[in-house]
Amino acid sequence: MSMKNASSRMNRSSCVPSLTSRWRIPVRFGSSRFQGNLQLNSTTSRATTTETTSQPETSSDASSSSAAAANGGGQSQAYPFGFVESKWQKYWAQNKTFRTPDITKVDTSKPKHYVLDMFPYPSGAGLHVGHPEGYTATDITSRFYRMRGYNVMHPMGWDAFGLPAEQYAIQTGTHPAVTTAKNVERFRDQLQSLGFSYDWERELATTDAKYFKWTQWIFLQLLEKGLAYRAEVPVNWCPALGTVLANEEVIDGLSERGGHPVVKKPMMQWMLRITEYADRLLEDLDELDWPEGVKEMQRNWIGRSEGASVSFPLSSSDDDERLTVFTTRPDTLFGVTFVCVAPEHPWLMDKLVTEAEREAVEAYVEAASRKSDRERTGGDSSAAAAGPSGVFTGAYVEHPTTGESLPVFCADYVLGGYGEGAVMGVPAHDERDFEFQKKVGGDRVGVRVVVHPKGSSVEDVELPFCDKDGIVAANSSGGGLDINGMAGGKARKAVTEHLAENGFGEARVNYRLRDWLFARQRYWGEPFPVMYPLSDPSKVVPVSVDDLPITLPETETFQPTGDGKPPLSACEEWVRTTVPESSAAAAGVTAGEPAERETSTMPQWAGSCWYYLRFADPSNDRLMIDPEVEKYWLPVDLYVGGTEHATLHLLYARFWHKVLYDLGVVSTKEPFRKLVNQGMILGEVEFTGYVDTASGMFVDPNVGEQMLTEEDGAGGARGREMKLSEDDVEKKGDGYYLRDDSPHVPEGQSMPVKISARAHKMSKSRGNVINPDDVVFQYGADSLRLYEMFMGPLRDTKVWSTSGVEGVHRFLARAWRLMEGDEAFGDVEPTEEQLRSLHICIKKVTEMTEGMAYNTAISAMMEFVNDATKWEQPRPKSVLHTFSLLLSPYAPHIAEEMACRLRGGDEASIAYEEWPACDESLIETNEVLYPVQVNGKVRAKLMLSKDITEDEAVASAMADENVQKFTDGKEVKKVIFRSGKILNIVVSK
């Protein structure tokens, strides 16, 4: 039975509250609880409330109310949104309106639409108004496709492992599981208060043992395929956090979370061979309906480059040892005048550094260990401005074709994990090498021009000359190789072939992408399902699949050890184990022999790599996902989230999905068919004036900002900022100026005074965070949802404005008033004009919702309400009901209530009613809306006949009262008339 028919019916009186009903959020869903001590129970949410009128105010209601009051925002009385929203949230929960049936009960002959939000981390701060933007967009889409007859899956869950809960545990002693459960409950309550149509019976959390059992299973598959391995690698070690961080989690030498110093340190770590999938990750991007910017970020992160490896014999070696570099420009081989190695290069201290240079090199390597890769490669502005750095090692190598002796330097812009950890220096044809030669190389390093543009000569080249195409080789012969006169591509090929034939190199494809460092020295994460026998600690013994999950031990010790050992190493009873019989034979060890568990845990990204699969089959204890379920529901049809995940979550999830594809677990090559990135919502515009501290007068913002940095001679600054309110300023042209009547205008102030008007990213430190609870209390969830979609295109950055919320709230109140009064609506036949207005709205809302142009769809509904407000009463009930269906994906609570009243109070939810279809014949007209311009400015808009002549159009325009204001007494110089489009009358000035 469908949800709409299974739902209980209501009597009409339940649809008609008084306008003075006090708003509550009486709906409270089942709280999270724990299975054992650690597993977050993500079972069905339950409505537990009584009738609205008898529900006492909860603490969260009171806090929202007091917060709103503190912000100067009383509760609107424009329409009874409090009653409406609490009533329908309770109804949806009790009737499981948005439950997606199990695959055995789904009509798989119908099309499906899988709509997914990026997995949120449940922080203690709860939601801010930026979060609901993407969630509202996916909810609109989900509701829209349900009404169009699709089977829709729209789930929600929690990426609940991670550093924040553990840091809080370290500071307070509160177990991360307790903190996480509390945060999840707050997030869930807030999401449910906004009326999102999630299937809460599919709710899951990465911390649930029933979930991470399968995360561990995936790791075992990676291990079996040789895609997981242990290696001692230089890692980003953060002493303060006590853990290793991925490159993406280090910004300017500091941890992304907390801003703690990070150093390089060699450690034994688990790694995943994501590089094995580099080509597939690149190639399959072309098939995806993703923003081109995100695809380009992934292409750059993978960084595929074709070139050659080149071996330079060590001058001091008696064993023909060779230092190998990677280059994308083998055509410039004869221009090499030095070689650089990374500070992490394994040969640096043992084979390259001479005693005379050792102290300087050691100091340089130590300094490099405190820099991030981004700093080292000039990725931030300060590093780029400083230019490359380096130190001479004392070593020399021989040029593979000319035999020339070349100095070897250590330079931190060379990364140990890229290529061979060494590069050849060609100052004439590489910008960084050119700077290095001037700053570091000095007299040891020459500059040799070996390519020039076609049609010119070496003497004409301006250095550094870095073009790769349209070039000709010169000064390039020796050792049996002569490429002089060859074009770039041909020269590159000739050099590579020569090196290969003579044993000095080969063609190679290289990637910027590094293998994924997959271990963290933390407690709050998925345990690795492996152990190490004491008889041979280097041997990895996988846990049998039958013994999963491996759960975390109960402990009160979360503090990092400071020496790299994870907190789990202190849980000796858990660490010490014996090899079970189920694992012994396959690993080639003796059952029962002593062993130790791995004490690092998986990174937070592990659980979020595959959650989209588990949502489709969350209760399956036998398989991570049933093949029949996977074939129907996958891939995800719409995935919405921020661009900050472009090179982290999205890349990792694609990698795991491809591994699962190779294993036959999934049938698609990619997990997410369409990706949409919502834009950031900035805080309200802040108005700032700048005051000269000496005179007390306002100055221009450009002058004032400079004065803030200058001393006044008495230990203070020459200028200061003054925060102003919106009432203090007025907009003139493109800028804001201090109002003459502002109380802040000092006597003698020269006017006008320009004011700085800027919107900033929401942050606690700026005090500009908007709590959605306050907005919901003041204006209702429908108003918040509608405003976030009306602010502008979903993908754009937008500025929050509370007055904008008030505007859409007034629109909803006008829609509500269409049905107020005993004669507001009735069973009357709609007029031709009423039907035309309705079907224009249907057409626009349908097309705009399909294209995710939600702001334009809302504008169309506003136009309809403006029209309908002018209609005589009673208004046609059939037209108003159809409008309620159009409104329902956007403002579902008020739409449900409108439909309930229109149907006499005894109808079910409209969530599954058929989406209205536009009858094009009803919107056809013989008239066209003409913008009428006078001297290029629109002065009127007239509905004129499609077949109107130019003279008739001008006559109609001249009869318009507003056009007459700008044309009376003036000579018509020219008329620009484009049939069906525009009329522009040019008059004398």
Q: At what angle do helices 802-817 and 854-869 cross, to 10 degrees?
A: 40
pLDDT band at 50 (very low <50, low <70, confident <90, very high): very low
The arithmetic mean of pLDDT across residues 49-65, rounded, is 34
Distance CA 302, CA 278 (A): 7
Taking the mean position of all CA atoms in its chain, how far away is CA 162?
18
Tokens at residue 715, please? Answer: 């230990």
Q: At what angle do helices 781-790 and 81-95 cross, to 10 degrees?
A: 90
The arithmetic mean of pLDDT across residues 71-88, rounded, is 88
pLDDT for residue 73: 60
pLDDT above 90: percentage of residues in the chain? 74
The arithmetic mean of pLDDT across residues 757-779, rounded, is 90
The arithmetic mean of pLDDT across residues 543-557, rounded, is 93
pLDDT for residue 320: 85
Cβ neighbours of residue 366 closer than 8 Å, sequence gap 6 or more: none
pLDDT at 32 over 50: no
pLDDT for residue 271: 96
pLDDT band at 230 (very low <50, low <70, confident <90, very high): very high
pLDDT tens-digit readout, 239-261: 888 777 766 677 777 887 788 98
Q: Kindly calculate the radius of gyration of the chain based on its CA atoms and give it in whole angstroms.
A: 34
Sign of the four-CA dihedral 11, 16, 17, 18 = negative
Q: Where are the alpha helices (DSSP H) in 510-667?
A: 572-575, 581-587, 605-608, 611-616, 627-633, 649-663
Contact between 446 and 456 under an 8 Å Cβ cutoff? The reply is no
pLDDT at 543 over 90: yes
Assign 161 to helix, strand or coil. Answer: coil
The arithmetic mean of pLDDT across residues 333-341, rounded, is 97
pLDDT for residue 382: 55
pLDDT at 669 over 80: yes
pLDDT at 289 over 70: yes
What value does the mean pLDDT of the chain take?
88
The arithmetic mean of pLDDT across residues 599-617, rounded, is 96
The arithmetic mean of pLDDT across residues 213-228, rounded, is 98
pLDDT for residue 565: 82
pLDDT tens-digit readout, 351-394: 999 999 999 999 999 998 888 777 787 755 555 567 899 999 99
Cβ neighbours of residue 955 closer than 8 Å, sequence gap 6 or more: none
pLDDT for residue 927: 82
**182 burial level (CB within 10 Å; 0-12, 13-18, 19+):** middle
The arithmetic mean of pLDDT across residues 175-201, rounded, is 94
CA-based nearest residue to 181, from 59, 34, 48 = 34
CA-based nearest residue to 272, from 736, 739, 539, 606 = 606
pLDDT at 339 over 60: yes
Tokens at residue 157, please? Answer: 């869950």
The arithmetic mean of pLDDT across residues 52-80, rounded, is 51
pLDDT at 540 over 90: yes
pLDDT for residue 87: 96
CA-based nearest residue to 463, from 431, 441, 423 = 431
Contact between 423 and 325 under an 8 Å Cβ cutoff? The reply is yes
pLDDT at 22 over 60: no
pLDDT band at 18 (very low <50, low <70, confident <90, very high): very low
pLDDT for residue 383: 53
CA-based nearest residue to 266, from 598, 517, 86 = 517
CA-based nearest residue to 753, from 765, 761, 745, 743 = 745
Q: Tell me, what amino acid is at 750?
A: S
pLDDT tens-digit readout, 729-750: 999 988 999 999 999 999 999 9
pLDDT at 2 over 60: no
Assign 149 to helix, strand or coil. Answer: coil
pLDDT at 69 over 60: no
SS3 of 462-531: CCCCCCCCCEEECCCEECCEECCCCEHHHHHHHHHHHHHHCCCEEEEEEECCCCEECCECCCCCCECCEE
Distance CA 334, CA 327 (A): 13
**351 burial level (CB within 10 Å; 0-12, 13-18, 19+):** middle
pLDDT for residue 256: 79
pLDDT for residue 461: 92
pLDDT for residue 177: 92
The arithmetic mean of pLDDT across residues 130-139, rounded, is 95
pLDDT for residue 124: 80
pLDDT above 70: percentage of residues in the chain? 91
pLDDT tens-digit readout, 412-454: 999 887 788 999 999 999 999 999 999 999 899 999 999 999 9
pLDDT tens-digit readout, 114-124: 999 998 998 88
